[in-house]
Amino acid sequence: MRDYYRFPTPLRSCSCPRERARPETCRAQGSKSKPWNGFRGGRRILALGRTKDTESRFVTWTQDVDGGPPVPLLEGYSGILPSPDGRSVLANRGYDGPFALCPVVGGPCQLVQGLDPAQDEPLRWSNDGKTLLVASYAPLQLTLMRVDPTNGRSETLKSIAPAERAGIFGFGTRPRITPDGRYYAYSYGRCLGDLYLARGLR
Q: DSSP character for 197?
A: -
pTM: 0.73
Tell me the pLDDT band of 56, cut-offs 50, 70 and 90: low
Domain definitions of the chain by residue range: 1-111, 113-202
pLDDT of 135 higher than 60: yes
The helix or strand, by DSSP H or E, that contains position 146, with its residue range, turns out to be strand 141-147
What is the rounded distance in angstroms from the CA atom of residue 94 to the CA atom of residue 106?
Answer: 18
d(CA 40, CA 22): 18
Which pLDDT belongs to residue 16? 38
Rounded to whole angstroms, what are the CA distances from 76 to 85, 138, 179, 202? Answer: 23, 29, 29, 66
Residue-wise pLDDT tens digits, 64-112: 877 777 788 888 888 888 998 888 899 988 878 999 999 988 788 999 9
Residue partners of 151: CB distance under 8 A and separation at least 6: 113, 114
Q: What is the mean pLDDT of the chain?
A: 78
pLDDT digits (tens, 9 = 90+) for 8-55: 334 443 433 444 444 444 444 433 444 467 787 777 888 777 767 666
CA–CA dist 33, 12 (Å, integer): 9
In three-state secondary structure terms, 95 is coil
